[in-house]
Amino acid sequence: MLELMTEPVVVTHSLTKRYGQRTAVDGLDMHVPAGVVAGFIGANGAGKTTTLRMLLGLVRPSAGTATVLGHDLGDPSSYLRKVGALIESPAFYPGLSGERNLKVQTSLGGIPERRIPEVLEVVGLADRGGDAYKSYSLGMKQRLGIASALLGEPELLVLDEPTNGLDPTGIRDMRELLRQVADTGLTVLVSSHQLVELEQVCDWLVMVDAGRQVFQGTTSQLLAAGSDRLVLATEHSRDLDRLVAIVQALGALASRQGRKVHVPLGGVDDVTTFLAGVNRAAMGEAIVLVEIAVTAGTLEDRYASLVGAA
Amino acid sequence: MNAYRSELVKLGRRTTLLAAGAVLPFLALLATTLVILNATDRAVVAAADGFEPSLAQLGSSLGITAGFRASKGFLGILVFTLFLTSFSSEYVQGTLRTMLLREPRRGRLLLGKLAAVLSLVAGSLLLAEVLSIGLSAALVDNRGVGISAWWTGAGLQQAGGDYLNALLAATLFGAMGTAVGVLVRSTSVGLALGLAWLLPLEHIIQNAWADAARWFPGLLFDAVASGGTVTTTYGRGLVLGGAVAVALLAAGATSFVRRDVSG
């Protein structure tokens, strides 16, 4: 088991953050083993960014404890030298070049300047480092943000929604960059609500909903936990909404996606009996099913079933 | 030291240097030109700090920095704006979180940034004074004024004292700009509040209540820049103005160190 073989890099116990009456993070317990690419998953507003900000010393917890690289959260200066981070959108001085922005960082962190061309090379900005940051595309800005995070040769890389706002090409480039960085052996904690992206690169997952942890473990554990999906299609598309209601009446989650109905099978004990029940109920309502297929579940399905159950 | 060096890297950009570092010298040169051209040989004239000194004052040891002293009216607003934008823009652009990830000891970051911006102002003031003296020496000859008194011990002491007072006043205005920038976290709101207070409000109240100059921060800081005024002694300006600046800076530093950075 991955979690037993390695020491956790991040551990939180009942970590909580309240803003007045609103609780953004609610008693979060999580851990991230060393050397993994860990996906931190949750919908917008689930508490991901607030949690990451607490781990990075930007926001004080209201309650709970945590350690990062074995150091207490209350003393971020003891561990931040070994952490690289990109929180939300990259933030640099627009009038300075990419290189000069990184020089501001190396001066501040006491990092050798030789790292600047090295990290620019890693993120594919070697030929644009001299250009003003304000002239960069969104994808280039994100890449400069990752370059900045890599400057101090970190043991832990924290990325918050690194694909936000990127076009499909940018997302693919970012995924490849993430793989490339992860191959060097450092631990990566990456938050996102784009589950398809995380499914392809993460080997450890922490899922949160409304500030609470709903799952943590390996990606394979999660996907193996009965998360196949039933896909149904009807002869007439006008029947789709009624079919959703029929499936829901049988106690399963169902949603209409285009001209099909998707049903996560995570909570279904006997799939054969369930399928027979769906078919029988549809026939009873004079709905003709033209497709009944069971497909391997995705992270999205599993997340939906976990959040739905939470 | 790292925070200081880092801020200098940021400020060292050519356009920043021009915008932030060359304005004071430019205004000093403008004021110097006006002072030399306006100098009059009438017996009764305004104070030696104004734009219309007497030719006799120009030829005395006071004359060496007459132009530089006349430009001090711009000092407070410019320095306040520079410090305010240096800090508030870090919040507005989100760059503060990038910096705090690199230097989480917030007190050190604040001090380093402050020292770097103050260094820029100190250099800018020195350049302003040197250029002003040079231009004065070049122009004053046309007015038939001898400048031998400028290069005496008294003249050089005057130049040194005027520089020191300008730097002290800049430090006080800088502390105020920093505090407002950190507390308000918005460049536009900070500028609106600060400039409204320093420009019209203090002076409107002063017109109705002469003692305002003895109590209001901007007017106290101005008294330091002038080496004391008729209503406010130099010592009072320094002690009371210094206390106000320390209080403002303490409030700003507490906020900077303790408040969450969520933007």
Q: What residues does each domain of chain B span?
A: 2-258
Point out the least confidently predicted range of A126-140, A292-306, B43-57. B43-57
Indicate the SS3 state at residue B133: helix
Q: Is the pLDDT of residue A51 over 90?
A: yes
pLDDT above 90 covers what percent of chain B? Answer: 57
Decide if A304 contacts A294 (C-beta within 8 A). Answer: no
Residues paired with residue A231 on neighbouring β-strands, in sequence order: A262, A293
Nearest residue in chain B measured CA to CA from A59: B260
Query: Backbone dihedral region of B161: left (phi > 0), alpha (psi from -120 to 50 degrees) or beta?
Result: alpha
Average pLDDT over residues A253-279: 85
**Chain length of chain A:** 310
CB count in 10 Å sphere of residue B61: 20
pLDDT of A31 reads 92
Point out the least confidently predicted range of A129-143, A187-201, B91-105. A187-201
Nearest to A91 among B5, B10, B97 (CB): B97
How do beta strands A260-264 and A229-234 pair? Answer: antiparallel
pLDDT of A24 reads 93
* A204-209: strand order across its sheet: A83-86, A156-160, A187-192, A37-41, A204-209, A212-218
Average pLDDT over residues B181-188: 93
Shortest CA gap B249–chain A (Å):
21
* Residues of chain A with C-beta less than 8 angstroms from the C-beta of B257: none
pLDDT of B23 reads 87
Decide if B9 contacts A103 (C-beta within 8 A). Answer: yes
* Residues of chain A with C-beta less than 8 angstroms from the C-beta of B92: none
Q: Is the pLDDT of residue B237 over 50?
A: yes
**Residue whose tokens read 């009996």:** A273
Shortest CA gap A14–chain B (Å):
19
CB count in 10 Å sphere of residue B200: 10
Could you give the dihedral angle defined by the CA atoms of residues B174, B107, A142 and A198, in that order, rounded to the nearest 10 degrees? Answer: -150
Average pLDDT over residues B154-178: 94
The alpha helices in chain A, defined as continuous H runs, are: 2-5, 48-55, 98-109, 115-122, 138-150, 168-182, 195-201, 219-224, 240-249, 271-284, 299-309
Q: Which of B101, B110, B113 is best to mutate for the A interface (most A CBs within 10 A)?
A: B101
Nearest-5° angle of CA A59, CA A65, CA A66? 80
Q: Is the pLDDT of residue B59 over 90?
A: no
Q: Do residue A212 and residue A259 come from a single domain? A: no
Provide the CA A297 distance to its chain's centre, in angstroms.
17
Report the distance separating Cα B84 and Cα B82, nearest Å: 6
pLDDT of B16 reads 78
pLDDT above 70 covers what percent of chain A? Answer: 94
Buried-exposed string A134-172: b where 16+ CB fall within 10 A, e elsewhere: eebeebbbbbbbbbbbbbbebbbbbbbbbbeebeeebbe
Q: What is the CATH number of the domain that holds A134?
A: 3.40.50.300
pLDDT of B123 reads 93
**CA dihedral over A123, A125, A90, A198, signed as positive or negative:** negative
**Chain length of chain B:** 263
Nearest of B238, B232, B244 to residue B176 by alpha carbon: B244
Tell me B54's DSSP state.
B
Locate A151 and state its tokens.
């400057």
Q: Which residues, numbered 152 to 191 in chain A, qualify as contacts with chain B under a Cβ-Cβ cut-off of 8 Å? A: 152
Average pLDDT over residues A57-69: 95
Q: Residue B231 to residues B53, B161, B220, B236: CA-CA distances in angstroms?
A: 20, 20, 10, 10
pLDDT of B207 reads 83
Q: Is the pLDDT of residue A223 over 80?
A: no
Q: Do residue A136 and residue A52 come from a single domain? A: yes
Does residue A128 or residue B200 have the better pLDDT?
Answer: A128
Q: Is the pLDDT of residue A2 over 70?
A: no
pLDDT of B167 reads 95
Average pLDDT over residues B179-187: 94
Nearest to A91 among B8, B16, B98 (CB): B98
Give yes or no for A20 touching B (CB within 8 A): no
Shortest CA gap A99–chain B (Å):
11
Could you give the dihedral angle defined by the CA atoms of residues B102, B104, B108 and B111, in that order, rounded to the nearest 10 degrees? Answer: 80
- Domain span at residue A258 reads 229-309
**Complex-level ipTM:** 0.84
Tell me the residue type at A219.
T
Locate B260 and state its tokens.
């969450």
Report the distance separating Cα A184 and Cα A157, nearest Å: 12
Nearest of B45, B46, B52 to residue B31 by alpha carbon: B52
Does residue A61 or residue B39 have the better pLDDT?
Answer: A61
Q: Is the pLDDT of residue A5 over 60?
A: no
User: CB B93 to CB A91 under 8 A?
Assistant: yes
Q: Is the pLDDT of residue A121 over 80?
A: yes
User: CB A103 to CB B103 under 8 A?
Assistant: no
pLDDT band at A290 (very low <50, low <70, confident <90, very high): very high
Shortest CA gap B128–chain A (Å):
26
Average pLDDT over residues B78-92: 93
Point out the least confidently predicted range of A156-165, A238-247, A289-298, B114-123. A289-298
Q: Do residue A73 and residue A204 come from a single domain? A: yes
Nearest to A56 among B6, B13, B101 (CB): B101
Q: What is the CATH number of the domain that holds A273?
A: 3.30.70
Q: How many domains does chain A have?
A: 2
* Residues of chain A with C-beta less than 8 angstroms from the C-beta of B105: 77
Q: DSSP of B33-45, one letter per residue? A: HHHHHH-B--SS-
pLDDT band at A1 (very low <50, low <70, confident <90, very high): very low
User: CB A88 to CB B94 under 8 A?
Assistant: yes
Tens of pLDDT along A167-207?
788 788 888 888 888 888 889 999 987 777 777 788 889 99
Nearest residue in chain B measured CA to CA from A50: B262
* Residues of chain A with C-beta less than 8 angstroms from the C-beta of B13: 95-96, 100
Average pLDDT over residues B143-169: 91
Decide if A230 contacts A292 (C-beta within 8 A). Answer: yes
Nearest-5° angle of CA A277, CA A283, CA A288? 115
User: CB A95 to CB B9 under 8 A?
Assistant: no
Locate A176 and state its tokens.
């490849």
Average pLDDT over residues A29-44: 90
* Residues of chain B with C-beta less than 8 angstroms from the C-beta of A56: 101
Nearest to B260 among A58, A87, A92 (CB): A58
Q: Do residue A27 and residue A155 come from a single domain? A: yes
Report the distance separating Cα A33 and Cα A3, nearest Å: 6
Shortest CA gap A151–chain B (Å):
10
Q: Is the pLDDT of residue B259 over 70?
A: yes
Q: Is the pLDDT of residue A4 over 50?
A: no
3-state secondary structure A206-274: EEEECCEEEEEEEHHHHHHCCCCEEEEEECCHHHHHHHHHHHHHCCCCCEEECCEEEEECCCCCCHHHH
Nearest residue in chain A measured CA to CA from B259: A59
Locate B246 and state its tokens.
């320390």
Tell me A68's DSSP state.
E
Nearest residue in chain A measured CA to CA from B2: A108
Nearest to B103 among A53, A59, A108 (CB): A108
Point out the least confidently predicted range of A9-23, A216-230, B28-42, B96-110. A216-230
User: CB B95 to CB A93 under 8 A?
Assistant: yes
Nearest of A232, A247, A243, A255 to residue A301 by alpha carbon: A255
Q: Is the pLDDT of residue A56 over 80?
A: yes
pLDDT of A93 reads 93
Q: Do residue A211 and residue A243 come from a single domain? A: no
Q: Residue B33 to residues A193, B36, B37, B140: CA-CA distances in angstroms?
A: 63, 5, 6, 9
Q: Do residue A233 and residue A219 come from a single domain? A: no
Average pLDDT over residues A47-74: 94
* Terminal Cα-to-Cα distance of chain B (whole angstroms): 26
Decide if A288 contacts A233 (C-beta within 8 A). Answer: no
Give yes or no for A58 touching B (CB within 8 A): yes
Report the distance separating Cα B213 and Cα B230, nearest Å: 10
Average pLDDT over residues A48-60: 94
Backbone angles phi, psi at A207, to 5 degrees: -110, 135
Asked which of A209, A224, A239 is the last residue of a domain, the reply is A224
pLDDT of B42 reads 72
pLDDT band at B47 (very low <50, low <70, confident <90, very high): low
What does the mean pLDDT of chain A come to?
87
Query: Backbone dihedral region of A14: left (phi > 0), alpha (psi from -120 to 50 degrees) or beta?
Result: left
pLDDT of A306 reads 72
pLDDT of B44 reads 56
Asked which of A204, A224, A244 is the last residue of a domain, the reply is A224
Shortest CA gap B77–chain A (Å):
24
Locate B65 and state its tokens.
């920095």
* Residues of chain B with C-beta less than 8 angstroms from the C-beta of A87: 97, 101
Nearest residue in chain B measured CA to CA from A109: B102
